[in-house]
A and B are shown apart, each in its own frame.
Chain A
Amino acid sequence: MDIEQVKERAGPREFSPKDDLPEEYRKAATRMIQFHANSEIMGAYLEKPFIRQAPSLDRKLAFSAKVQDEIGHGQLLYRAAESLGVKTRDEMLDELAEGKGKFLNCFHYPMDSWVETPMIAFFVDGAAMRRQATLKQSSWEPYAHAMDKVCFEEGFHVKHGEAILYELMTGSKKEQELTQEAFEEWWPRIIQFFGPTDDKSTHHDFSADVGLKTMTNDELRNAFLNAYVPKAEKYGLEIPDEPRIRDNGDSTYEVVEDDLDWDEFFTIAKNDYDPGKGQIDGRKQAQDAVEWVRETLDSHEQRFAGGTQPQAAD
């Protein structure tokens, strides 16, 4: 298939590993899915310390289950990416450890306090879920298939995040104030989750033409704001004055881009933001520490499989 045929055929779950796809498609899909997989992993590492800091046993169990789910999502997505034949899962994990693998802006920021957890577990997960629901229509079938399971599990994460937010916003005055402060700090980052407005996005056109993604940054941001601003207000959070967001009155919004720190955003996008570097190194140390497990499993597999390569993703 050449790229024109791909564009012609592009539709939900249209392409699978049995199709002969041009390199341009396979590379674009790999970049997109690898980014997504990396984000699942880095998000899990960001939240992991809060399993210990959870204020009750219920929260600890639920938080631990959620973090475990996110690692699983990462693994599913690396498989979906691997099946494009561009990079192996090991290569992608190594790239992440070496600081070459890119991931979501929100997961480059440090998270220090329990009051920050709903910013990820409710708002960022909610934003991610909005996007993931549309990716069930992606043209790379293994990617869309992975989204079925991811979205199945994600409803629990978002509602659990909402339960934490509710608990904090109905707690002591101090808790409410700290939660509001955390919200003000995280809100611009959450808005930037959806990237620059459509006229500044670099990768959208090609990905949309070949059906890898089906909605634009602006459409996703609008849908997110329509659903989550009323929720934030319901729990008594005040939406910060900046970035200015104009409600057009027809379920669309305009974000004043100059109110957002795009220098920081693009520094993060290059993995050059200091706290983000710390997160990357932290995960690298974990990867190095369990090297012996991978080696043991690899040699075990080779002994029993007569040295053949592991099966490709199902």
Chain B
Amino acid sequence: MIWEVFRQEQAGEYHTHCGNVHAPDREMALMFAEIQHGRRKPTNSLWVVPQKEIGEVDTEEANFGGTTDKSYRWAQSYSFEAAAEEVADSESEQVQAERQRGDD
């Protein structure tokens, strides 16, 4: 039986997927996870989840982010020189936000 493993580095952070282990039950899955995934990297907590319990939807079935092109919402889509300093500041904040989208 395959168990997917999620590791949390520090208290309060998200558990993120880091791999899987083969084990007959939850207790042994946790033990193997501790050995294989909690030994070398900083770890505060581990989750194990039976692989068949995980649901998935991917790009073949879904349009992530919707189908509408929302570039109209960004100042940088309008190719005019910013009228004033504060308009330019807002635009660079938006450029930054667009670049970082999905990173959080």
Contacts and interface: CB of A to CB of B under 8 A. Distances in A.
Interface of A: 58, 61-62, 65, 122, 126, 129-130, 132-133, 151-156, 158-160, 162-163, 166, 223-224, 227-228, 231
Contacts of B94: 152, 155-156
Given A158-B75, A160-B72, A162-B80, 18 more contacts: A62-B72, A65-B73, A126-B83, A129-B84, A133-B86, A133-B89, A153-B90, A154-B86, A155-B82, A155-B86, A155-B87, A156-B73, A156-B75, A159-B78, A162-B78, A162-B83, A223-B84, A227-B84
A162 B13 CA distance: 43
Contacts of B89: 133, 151, 155
B25 interface: no
16 contacts: A61-B70, A61-B72, A62-B72, A122-B83, A126-B87, A130-B86, A151-B89, A155-B82, A155-B90, A155-B91, A156-B74, A158-B90, A159-B75, A159-B91, A162-B80, A227-B83
Chain A binding surface SS class: helix
Nearest to B73: A65
A163 to B, nearest CB: 5
Contacts of A158: 75, 83, 87, 90
A126 B93 contact: no
A158 B93 CA distance: 15
Contacts of A126: 83-84, 87
Contact of B78 (A151, A163, A223): A163
Given A126-B83, A159-B82, A160-B78, A151 B72 contact: no
A163 B86 contact: no
Contact of B84 (A160, A163, A166, A228): A228
B83 A228 contact: yes
